[in-house]
Structure 1
């Protein structure tokens, strides 16, 4: 599988996660989101950027429970809850948001 961005082909695995994290860009994120049936809003970007910062700090994509708690701490309890995150990323906030953020699939995700 691959994504086309600005005339470049970005390699992805069979589930759509990009192979080389350095290939990530916001235009690529928008294309991945569209392939997932999502239109990116400022709230989506907030979660995606949070995930990228988290990954840079800890070198791991957080599972949903960790993600929810960490977002609650940084962005407040109204955003750090399952309902809010599943409304943004219906196919699983950790899995779907990590894919859009150009991160590997979180551990523990099927």
Structure 2
């Protein structure tokens, strides 16, 4: 797993740029990751990101879009508004988690 530096943070990533070490993530890093893909994080974004991180810690896999909607309580339309075009992939990237299964 290659290491890289993102805005001064040294992290391990996969070939697509997703973090591979859970504990290397921080809220400050999340801000930088979001900025890289054109997203300014709001409280609504953080609700989804916090759910993803907690769910991953409990289940050991990145939640799907449906799970974020059902268990996380964030409506699908809201997720598409917050994380345009590929919300599951963008949420996982910002949350410092592996890409969810089924994402291309």
Q: TM-score band, normalised by the shorter chain? A: 0.7 to 0.9
Contact 2:83 2:90 in 1 (8 A): yes
Matches of 1:8 and 1:67, distance apart in 2: 27
CA shift, 1:11, in A, is: 2.8
Contact 1:64 1:94 in 2 (8 A): yes
State the SS of the aligned residue for 2:84: coil
Q: Counterpart of 1:42? A: 43
Identify unmatched segments of 5+ residues in structure 2. Answer: none
Kindly tell me the number of residue pairs found equivalent between the two proteins: 102
Identify unmatched segments of 5+ residues in structure 1. Answer: 73-79
Q: Runs of 4 or more off by more than 6 Å in structure 1? A: none
Q: Could you say what the CA RMSD is over the residues aligned between the two structures, in angstroms?
A: 1.6
Please report the TM-score for the alignment, with normalisation by the length of structure 1: 0.82
Please report the TM-score for the alignment, with normalisation by the length of structure 2: 0.87
Q: Counterpart of 1:26? A: 27
